[in-house]
Amino acid sequence: MNRTLPNPEKVKQFRKLIIALSIIIPIAVALLFGIKIEGVDFTFLPPIYASINGLTAIVLIFALVAIKMRRITLHQRLIQFALLLSLLFLVAYVLYHITSDTTLYGGDYKITYLIILFSHIILSIVVIPLVLFAYLFAWQGNYERHKKWTRFAFPIWLYVAITGVVVYLMISPFY
């Protein structure tokens, strides 16, 4: 494969951007929970962003299959699509939460729900730099480092996508 490697200065800029995004996104999302915009109705979004999470999980599994079959271009495109889906999820999630009241879980499995929810939230924060650095290493052509990071990033990203659906299914009767 004859490809031009990215400029080291550009890589340095992307590293700084990844670190900044890994800090800014969780803080911004947390702060946005304190903001409520009245008069806008985005209550239709939870099933949509849950579906986006489900689709992300499916795309990630197909990306894994593609790389195992050495279909590198397909793998790259699927990962890029999964990144786009994650970004769409984040936008929909934020829009819903800045325009809607928090929904409390009222079912019989509250401890189970809270364990899944908290693990989902913590790992959704952890996965940001893992996925972005894994992507950066692949972009650099540093496939050994990409593989090492992906061993952690992939299962966490998949877990976050799947538990996003599970959290929605558990809380949806209480909307």
Q: Is pLDDT above 50 for 152? A: yes
Which pLDDT tens digit goes with each residue over 67-96?
Answer: 999 999 999 999 999 999 999 999 999 999
User: For residue 37, is it within any domain?
Assistant: no
Q: Are 75 and 67 in contact (CB under 8 A)?
A: yes
Counting the structural domains of the chain, the total is 1
Residue 131 has pLDDT above 60, yes or no: yes
Read off the tokens for 82: 């999964």
pLDDT band at 2 (very low <50, low <70, confident <90, very high): very low
Domain contains 125:
yes
- Residue 1's pLDDT band, with cuts at 50, 70 and 90, is very low
Q: Is residue 89 part of a domain?
A: yes
Q: CA 170 from chain center: how many Å? A: 20
What are the tokens at 126? 């952890």
User: Is 117 a domain residue?
Assistant: yes
Q: What is the pLDDT of residue 33?
A: 84
Q: Report the predicted TM-score, pTM, of the whole model to 2 decimal places.
A: 0.92
Inform me whether the pLDDT recorded for 19 exceeds 60.
yes
Decide if 15 is inside a domain: no
∠ CA(21), CA(25), CA(29), 5° rounding? 175
Chain Cα centroid distance, residue 158 = 9
Tell me which of 4-13, 29-38, 70-79, 97-106 is least confident: 4-13
Write the pLDDT tens digit of every residue in 162-174.
Answer: 999 999 999 999 9
Look up the domain containing 82 and give its range.
43-174
Task: Write out the two tokens for 96.
Answer: 């819903």
Give a yes or no: residue 58 inside a domain. yes
Residue 31 lies in a domain: no
Residue 1 inside a domain? The answer is: no
- Please report which confidence band the pLDDT of residue 4 belongs to, taking 50, 70 and 90 as the band edges: low
